Structure formats: C-alpha cells, structure tokens
C-alpha cells in the first residue's frame, strides 16, 4: 500500500465545492440517497443550508509533534455513566491544541486551535435518559436535530481532505495491482472520530469493477464518484451527516406513569398532562405559565419500526418549550394503569452546531454526529486567537482547564503545562526542541485511538525523546549523590565496627582476656577460674 | 548478657507503633500534589477527580509504594537498642549508656525523617535533615541501622561482660 503524498494545508479554494443542495434539490437527494432498505425513508432531513465546520477540522490541521497528557484528576477519563435502561457508557475529557506557534516571545493559538472534546466510547442515544457531562456538570441528553448535507462536484486531491457537514473525507491511499488500482478514503468526524471501526473504509475503483465500484454508502454518509485516480477523486456528490443540535437538561422533573390531569412545576412553567388516549396511542401535553397555555402538543402515536433515529417518528414523541422538555416514552408498555409513561425535564438548553457556547462566549460549540443518528460528544473551540506570554495562562471553557506557559527562549517553549480547574498540573511539556504547545490530552475514542493514526508516530517520537532526556538528566544530575555516598560510608564504618567486635570476641575465645585486678569479681565462683588461668601450663 | 526478649518486644511495639501512627495520621490525598507525596499518581484518580479507595486500602497502597516497611523496621531496631542501652545504664554508667540511648533515638529520628512524618518534621525545622536523607535509599538506611545497632549492641555486651555488676563497687576499693 502506498500512502499518498500531501498533507499540506487544504485551502478551500483548492477544492471545488460548488453547491450545497438547496432546498429545491432536497427532494431529489432524498430519493437519490440510499435508505437502509427499500421503502424506508431517510432518517434525517436533507440540510437546507451549509454551516462551516469548526476551524482546523481537516486532517492536515492535526496537532504537529504534540505533547501527550494521559489524564489529569479534573479531566476524567473513562467515567462511566448509566442511562435509564442500565446501559453503561464511558465518557472522556479530551483537549487538543493545533497550529500553535511562538511569535514575538508569546505562544499563539489561532481560532479553533484550542479544542475541548466531550468524548464517548459508544454513541449517545436520545430518549434514553443518558447522562452527558458538560465540562464536569452532569446533564441529561434528551433529544437532537440531525441533517444530511449534500455537496456536488467535490474534488479531493490525493493526501488531502474535505468537510461535508460534520464529516471529513480524507483521500488516504491508492493501491495498485497490475495495471489496475483502487483508492481508499478515511471517513472522520470534525472531532477526528474515525468510522472505520463501525463501517470500514470506502474503497473506490474504476479499473477493478469486479471488486469495487464508484459509489459508497456508510448509512447516510454516501458518495457517487465520477473520476478516481492516484492524483484526485472527483465526486458528483458527497453527503455527510451534521448534528445540528443537542437538547440537554439539568433537571429531571418526572419519570414514570402519569394520568390525565397530573401537573408538574419547573421554574415558572407548569407542565400538565391534559389527556391520555390509549386507544389512539396518544397523550396531550400542555405547558403553561401564569395560567396561559404556551404550548399544547399531542404526542404519539409510537411508530416502533422507525424509532429511535427517524426524525419524524421521534419528534412525534417529544415536546419542548421555554426550558422545559419531555417525551412520551416509547415501549410496549407505554400505556398502562390508566395512564402513560412520560419523562419530563427542566432547565433544558441547546448545544447548537456553530453557535457561541452559552456558558463561555469565547468558545463555539459543535456537536459531533454519527450517521446512525447517535451522538459522539461535542467540541468547544476558541473563537478568537489566544496569546499567552511567559508566566501567563489561557483559560479553557468555563475555566475547566488552563494552558500555562512558564518559559520561552529563542523561539522555543522551554516550559509549559496544562492544569485542571483544581490546579493539578501535568508534567513540564516544554523543552529545548519544542516550538509549539500542540497537545493531545485524553484517552477517549479520538484522543486515545483515532487521532493516533495521524499523529501517533510524531507523538511517540517526541515522548520517547523526552523520556530519554529525563533519564539522562536524572542519572547525570543525581549520579551517586553525596547523601548516598555518606550513607555507604556510614555502612562501611559500621561494618568495620562489627568486624572489630567479632575479632575481639574471637580473640577472647582463643585467649580470654584477664580482667584487670580492680575489676575482679569477688564471686567465689569466679575465683577458681581466674586461678586456673594464672597457673602455668606444663607441656609434655 | 543481651536482653533478647526485651529487645524483641520493644522492636515489635515500636514497629507496630510506627505503622499505627502512620495509619492514624493518614488521610486520602485530595489533590495530585499531595497524592504524589504519598506515592500515588494521576492514574490512581477516579474519573470523579478523587482517589476512590477505602482509607485503609489507600494507606496500605501508600505504605507499600513508599516502602514505609523499611522505616518501621529501622524505628523498631533503634527503639530496641535504646531500650537495651537504658537497661544497661546502671552498670555502664549514665554517660555511656545515655549516649548509646541517644544514638538509638537519633537512628529512630532518621527513620521518622524519611518516613510518613517527614512533612511534620519539616514544619518542626528538620527540613534540612529530611532533604539530606531523601537521597539515601530506605533500604540502605535500614541496613545501616541494623549494622550500627548491631555494632553498638555487641560493644555494650562486651563492656557488660568485662564489667559484671558486682565489680563496680570493688573497683572503688
């Protein structure tokens, strides 16, 4: 296999991304895209407009020779959450810095260069009551909006990548065989999640029709190529899903079977179950404020064959109004005991793709979608350039972590570190050959797995060099320390003392010392012995 | 002449006391800096940002990783020797036996300086000793304590053997 050259910064101008499917064309694409099985509608609507991905999402923008930090106490790795159905899902905090540099004695991180990722090992599923950490605060993931972005006439030069919706297509390799060849794509998310584990990699070929074709489908990430070669791939169209919005809630108001007329309070809003119609499989919900009806919705019926991911079927169960949200719980026993099973949440808010993050206006938020309709965390990226002088630090979103620069000399960052909210610091990540503060922190699906495909080699080289330097420095600096030499000297003296005492004892056993006269024991028992020793010995 | 039974009992009591005080004074570290001082690493922190071990398990982990058993051994040896020296005081005179006992006490202090009480001793103005001894492996200090107390015990036993109890008044004649 030959890895293709490239890796330069992908300029938008170098790609021909002519048009995003307009709403007029949406109906066409809804037909053109392949559903999971004939007759099944697309689960997500075709996007009416394009929204730029977060800056530095392309493969060429990965961290360069990054430092790696496995964890800090305040940035948990593998924290398991459990949803209402007992499904366990590990969550990870990830922090990435890319395209950083030293300029005029300061560290500069460009817009989008500092990214926090709420990462998850399995897809986050709506309507399950799944806990979702937002910068350490545990919310509940309630619902989402996802759409399919379609772009026409897309060209991907070899070794480069292009964003379509929330997905990144990376023309990775050409594989030759006799006079034929095939071409491999990697499909990633804007966060770096690699879908290879879920769907494999699309392979295209115009010369091996027996093995490969010109079209691929990974659920709603699909494409139709018209020209494939070792220099570039050209697609008639490419589609990619985009997670437009996550609906999360801080407060659980109710979960269980409710009867008509039952009411709940959340802040100034009253939620009322106005009616239950088990025969129709519907309930009527009202949201009131000061006696005025703000929302009245009929929820249901439940379309079990298309849940949970089909937008139309799911939205038929969900209501949302002014910080209050809830849904009719889909299941075989939803209607029972004269009531219906509901879940109601308060303090609900949205994480909307490309919006300013409500908790910290310095950051923009980008949910990360899987073509299944599941969510794979969200990114928070800096909207403005960050500059850090030596001795200063830059705060992550809501001060969740800090990037601190301690010392810069001659264009190199000799000392810098990352620390969590509580002040727990990483090791020094700087050094005489470190010219940026690019970073990979975490052990999630992106930081601990997918991203390593791109940056693992450089990261390991850097870490090994640091390890070597630390060991050499340690042995040179410590050597046999004065304290250690002192300890050994004491040991030598003590051993000599023991040897002397043993020698005295051995000598005493061969020719016992005669106590001085003044120390003679007066004991009669001792006297004969003394006398015996004083008597001359006759030798035959 | 050497009161083996007394020394063994004092050794066991002193070593147990060292371990007991260490366990009593131990609190599960709350942040990385404290944790590293107790032999923990960032990997020991649970996703909640805390070390989620029962206190006794955390103490035992710290005890083993910090090789506190060497200190307990050293403290026991030093105390046993000091006890021997004190019992010999009447026969050897206050100067010799007292000096030996103080020596034993100093050895015990060394064990404390490098042990779990080091931070307390630093506060008490013994930080210099703590940092000086930090460069010596705990096993070497334990071996040194063993050999030094062994030497001193042999020396005192020899002096006692050469100077039975009853001869002291006789020497005055």
Select from B47, B150, B163 the Cβ nearest to the Cβ of A79.
B47
Confidence of residue A267 (pLDDT cuts 50, 70, 90): very high
Question: Chain B residues with CB-CB distance to A under 8 A?
Answer: 31-33, 42-43, 45-50, 132-137, 140-141, 143-144, 147-148, 150-151, 154-155, 158, 162-164, 166-167, 170-171, 173
Which residue of A lies nearest to B156 if distances are taken between CA atoms?
A501
Do B49 and A78 make contact, defined as CB atoms within 8 angstroms? no
Select from B32, B163, B167 the Cβ nearest to the Cβ of A73.
B32
Q: How far apart are alpha carbons A387 and B27 in whole angstroms?
A: 40
pLDDT at A465: 83
Query: Is the model's pLDDT at A140 over the cut of 50?
Result: yes
B149 vs A139, more confident: A139
Q: Quick one: what percent of chain A has pLDDT higher than 90?
A: 78
Do B46 and A523 make contact, defined as CB atoms within 8 angstroms? no
pLDDT at B114: 62
Q: Which residues of B touch A88 (CB under 8 A)?
A: none
Q: Does A507 lie at the interface with B, CB-CB under 8 angstroms?
A: no
Q: How far is A249 from chain B (nearest CA, A)?
A: 20
Q: What are the DSSP calls for A16-67, one per residue? A: ----BPPHHHHHHHHHHSPPSSTTPPPSSPBPSS--PPPTT-SGGGS-SS-E
Mode of pairing for the β-strands spanning A375-382 and A386-388: unpaired
Dihedral sign computed on CA atoms, order A421, A422, A426, A432: positive
Q: How far apart are alpha carbons A123 and A309 in whole angstroms?
A: 12
Do B147 and A519 make contact, defined as CB atoms within 8 angstroms? no
Q: A interface mutation test: which of B149, B151, B159, B171 has the most A CBs within 10 A?
A: B151
Confidence of residue B172 (pLDDT cuts 50, 70, 90): very low
Range scoring the smallest mean pLDDT among A189-198, A229-238, A266-275, A453-462: A453-462
Range scoring the smallest mean pLDDT among A123-127, A368-372, A443-447, B80-84: B80-84
Dihedral sign computed on CA atoms, order B163, B166, B167, B171: positive
Range scoring the smallest mean pLDDT among A24-28, A315-319, A392-396: A24-28
Select from A70, A420, A483 the Cβ nearest to the Cβ of B135.
A483
Query: Is the model's pLDDT at A412 over the cut of 90?
Result: yes
Confidence of residue A485 (pLDDT cuts 50, 70, 90): confident
Identify the residue whose tokens are 């071409």.
Answer: A183
Q: Name residues whose C-beta falls within 8 Å of residue A84's C-beta, 6 or more positions apart in sequence.
A: A128, A129, A130, A255, A343
Which residue of B lies nearest to A92 if distances are taken between CA atoms?
B47
pLDDT in tens, A339-372: 999 999 999 999 999 999 999 999 999 999 999 9
Confidence of residue A36 (pLDDT cuts 50, 70, 90): very high
Which residue of A lies nearest to B129 if distances are taken between CA atoms?
A483
Confidence of residue A508 (pLDDT cuts 50, 70, 90): low
pLDDT at B160: 81
Among candidate residues A135, A97, A130, A131, the one with its CA nearest the CA of residue A118? A135
Number of H helices, E strands in chain A: 6, 31
Q: How far is B62 from chain A (nearest CA, A)?
A: 18
pLDDT at A94: 98
Q: How far apart are alpha carbons A204 and B79 in whole angstroms?
A: 80
Confidence of residue B125 (pLDDT cuts 50, 70, 90): low
Q: Which residues of B touch A420 (CB under 8 A)?
A: 49
Q: Which residues of B touch A521 (CB under 8 A)?
A: 164, 166-167, 170
pLDDT in tens, B27-59: 888 877 778 778 887 667 776 777 888 999 999
Decide if B108 contacts B15 (C-beta within 8 A): no
Q: Which residues of A touch B140 (CB under 8 A)?
A: 484, 487-488, 491
Q: How far is B4 from chain A (nearest CA, A)?
A: 18
Q: How far is A452 from chain B (nearest CA, A)?
A: 20
Q: Which residues of B touch A119 (CB under 8 A)?
A: none
Average pLDDT over residues A69-96: 95
Range scoring the smallest mean pLDDT among A93-102, A223-232, B7-16, B85-94: B85-94
Burial class (CB in 10 A: 0-12, 13-18, 19+), A381: buried
Burial class (CB in 10 A: 0-12, 13-18, 19+), A472: exposed
B94-113 vs B68-87: helix crossing angle, rounded to 10: 170
Q: Does A488 lie at the interface with B, CB-CB under 8 angstroms?
A: yes
Average pLDDT over residues B60-83: 89
Do B155 and A77 make contact, defined as CB atoms within 8 angstroms? no
Which residue of B lies nearest to A421 if distances are taken between CA atoms?
B49
Which residue of B lies nearest to A425 if distances are taken between CA atoms?
B32
pLDDT at A10: 36
pLDDT at A17: 43
pLDDT at A268: 95
Q: Which residues of A touch B92 (CB under 8 A)?
A: none
Q: Which residues of A touch B43 (CB under 8 A)?
A: 70-71
Mode of pairing for the β-strands spanning A101-103 and A401-409: unpaired
Q: How far apart are alpha carbons A57 and A445 in whole angstroms?
A: 16
Confidence of residue A57 (pLDDT cuts 50, 70, 90): very high
pLDDT at A477: 56
Phi and psi angles of residue A537, each rounded to the nearest 5 degrees, phi first: -100, 125
Please tell me whether residue A269 adopts helix, strand or coil conformation.
Answer: strand
Do A70 and B42 make contact, defined as CB atoms within 8 angstroms? yes
Q: How far is A361 from chain B (nearest CA, A)?
A: 26
pLDDT at B126: 54
Identify the residue whose tokens are 């570290």.
Answer: B29
C-alpha distance from residue B6 to each of A57, A424, A444, B77, B91 (Å):
74, 48, 59, 12, 17
Q: B interface mutation test: which of A73, A81, A490 has the most B CBs within 10 A?
A: A73
Q: How far apart are alpha carbons A351 and A245 in whole angstroms?
A: 5
Q: Which residues of B touch A138 (CB under 8 A)?
A: none
Do A505 and B158 make contact, defined as CB atoms within 8 angstroms? yes
Q: Which residues of B touch A70 (CB under 8 A)?
A: 42-43
pLDDT at A185: 96
Q: Quick one: what percent of chain A has pLDDT higher than 70?
A: 87
Please tell me whether residue B153 adopts helix, strand or coil conformation.
Answer: helix
Do A522 and B166 make contact, defined as CB atoms within 8 angstroms? yes
Do A497 and B164 make contact, defined as CB atoms within 8 angstroms? no
pLDDT at A390: 94
pLDDT at A7: 37
Do B154 and A501 make contact, defined as CB atoms within 8 angstroms? yes
Q: What are the DSSP calls for A358-405, one per residue? A: TT-TTEEEEEEE-TTS-EEEEEEEESS-EEE-TT-EEE-GGGSEEEEE
Query: Is the model's pLDDT at A16 over the cut of 50?
Result: no
Do A519 and B171 make contact, defined as CB atoms within 8 angstroms? yes
Q: Does A480 lie at the interface with B, CB-CB under 8 angstroms?
A: no
Tally Cβ neighbours within 10 Å of residue A285: 24
The gap between the terminal CA atoms of chain B, to the nearest Å, is 25
Select from A424, A487, A513 the Cβ nearest to the Cβ of B136.
A487
Among candidate residues A400, A407, A404, the one with its CA nearest the CA of residue A417? A404
Q: What are the DSSP calls for A426-440, one per residue? A: ------TT-----EE
Which residue of B lies nearest to A498 if distances are taken between CA atoms?
B151
Confidence of residue A528 (pLDDT cuts 50, 70, 90): very low
Average pLDDT, chain A: 88
Assembly ipTM: 0.78
Decide if A402 contacts A395 (C-beta within 8 A): yes
Please tell me whether residue A8 adopts helix, strand or coil conformation.
Answer: coil
Q: Does A474 lie at the interface with B, CB-CB under 8 angstroms?
A: no
Q: Which residues of B touch A441 (CB under 8 A)?
A: none
Do B47 and A80 make contact, defined as CB atoms within 8 angstroms? yes
A301 vs A19, more confident: A301
Do A73 and B49 make contact, defined as CB atoms within 8 angstroms? yes
Q: Which residues of A touch B171 (CB under 8 A)?
A: 518-519
């Amino acid at each position: 296999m030959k890895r293709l050259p490239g890796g330069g910064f992908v300029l938008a101008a170098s790609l021909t991304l002519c048009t995003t499917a307009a709403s007029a064309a949406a109906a066409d694409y809804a037909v053109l895209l392949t559903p999971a099985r004939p007759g099944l509608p697309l689960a997500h609507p075709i996007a009416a407009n394009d929204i730029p991905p977060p800056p530095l999402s392309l493969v060429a923008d990965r961290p360069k020779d990054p430092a790696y930090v496995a964890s800090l106490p305040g940035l948990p790795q593998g924290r398991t959450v459990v949803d209402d159905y007992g499904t366990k899902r590990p969550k990870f905090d990830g922090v990435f810095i890319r395209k950083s540099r030293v300029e005029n004695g300061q560290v500069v991180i460009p817009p989008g260069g500092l990214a926090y990722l709420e990462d998850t090992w399995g897809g986050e599923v709506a309507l399950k009551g799944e806990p979702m950490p937002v910068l350490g605060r545990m919310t509940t993931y309630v619902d989402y909006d996802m759409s399919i972005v379609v772009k026409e006439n897309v060209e991907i030069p070899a070794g480069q990548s292009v964003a379509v919706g929330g997905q990144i297509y990376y023309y990775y390799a050409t594989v030759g065989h006799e006079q034929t060849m095939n071409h491999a794509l990697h499909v990633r998310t804007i966060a770096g999640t690699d879908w290879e584990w879920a769907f494999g990699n699309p392979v295209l070929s115009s010369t091996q029709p027996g093995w490969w074709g010109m079209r691929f489908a990974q659920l709603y990430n699909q494409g139709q190529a018209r020209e494939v070669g070792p220099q570039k791939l050209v697609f008639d169209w490419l589609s990619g899903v985009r997670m437009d919005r996550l609906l999360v809630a801080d407060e659980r108001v109710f979960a269980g079977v409710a009867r008509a007329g039952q009411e709940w309070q959340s802040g100034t809003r009253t939620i009322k179950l106005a009616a239950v119609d088990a025969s129709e499989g519907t309930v009527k919900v009202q949201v009131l404020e000061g006696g005025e009806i703000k929302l009245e919705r009929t929820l249901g019926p439940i379309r079990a064959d298309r849940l949970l991911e089909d937008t139309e079927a799911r939205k038929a169960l969900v209501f949302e109004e002014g910080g209050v949200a809830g849904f009719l719980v889909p299941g075989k026993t939803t209607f029972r005991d004269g009531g219906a099973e509901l879940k109601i949440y308060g303090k609900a808010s949205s994480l909307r793709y490309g919006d300013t993050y409500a908790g910290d206006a310095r950051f923009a938020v980008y949910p990360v979608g899987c073509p299944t309709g599941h969510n794979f965390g969200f990114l928070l990226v800096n909207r403005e350039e960050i500059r850090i002088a030596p001795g200063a630090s830059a705060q992550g979103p809501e001060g969740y972590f800090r990037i601190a620069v301690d010392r810069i000399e001659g264009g190199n960052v000799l000392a810098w570190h990352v620390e969590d909210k509580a002040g727990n610091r990483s090791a020094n990540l700087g050094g005489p050959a470190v010219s940026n503060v690019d970073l990979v922190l975490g052990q999630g699906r992106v930081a601990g797995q997918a991203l390593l495909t791109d940056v693992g080699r450089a990261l390991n080289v850097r870490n090994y060099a640091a390890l070597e330097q630390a060991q050499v420095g340690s042995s040179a600096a410590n050597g046999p320390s004065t304290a250690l030499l002192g300890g050994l000297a004491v040991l030598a003296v003590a051993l000599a003392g023991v040897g002397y005492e043993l020698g005295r004892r051995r000598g005493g056993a061969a020719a016992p010392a005669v106590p001085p006269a003044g120390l003679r024991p007066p004991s009669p028992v001792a006297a004969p012995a003394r006398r015996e020793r004083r008597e001359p010995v006759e030798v035959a | 002449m050497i009161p083996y039974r007394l020394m063994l009992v004092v050794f066991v009591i002193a070593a147990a006391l060292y371990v007991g005080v260490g366990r009593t004074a131990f609190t599960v570290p709350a942040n990385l800096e404290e944790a590293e001082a107790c032999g923990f690493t960032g990997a020991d922190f649970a996703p909640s940002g805390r070390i989620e071990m029962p206190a006794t398990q955390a103490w035992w982990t710290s005890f083993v990783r910090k090789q506190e058993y060497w200190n307990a051994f050293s403290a026991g040896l030093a105390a046993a020797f000091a006890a021997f020296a004190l019992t010999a005081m009447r026969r050897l005179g206050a100067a010799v036996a007292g000096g030996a006992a103080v020596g034993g006490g100093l050895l015990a202090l060394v064990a404390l300086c490098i042990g779990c009480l080091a931070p307390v001793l630093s506060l008490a103005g013994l930080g210099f000793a703590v940092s000086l001894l930090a460069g010596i492996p705990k096993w070497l200090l334990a071996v040194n304590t063993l050999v030094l107390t062994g030497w001193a015990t042999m020396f005192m036993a020899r002096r006692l053997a050469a100077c039975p109890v009853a001869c002291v008044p006789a020497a005055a004649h």
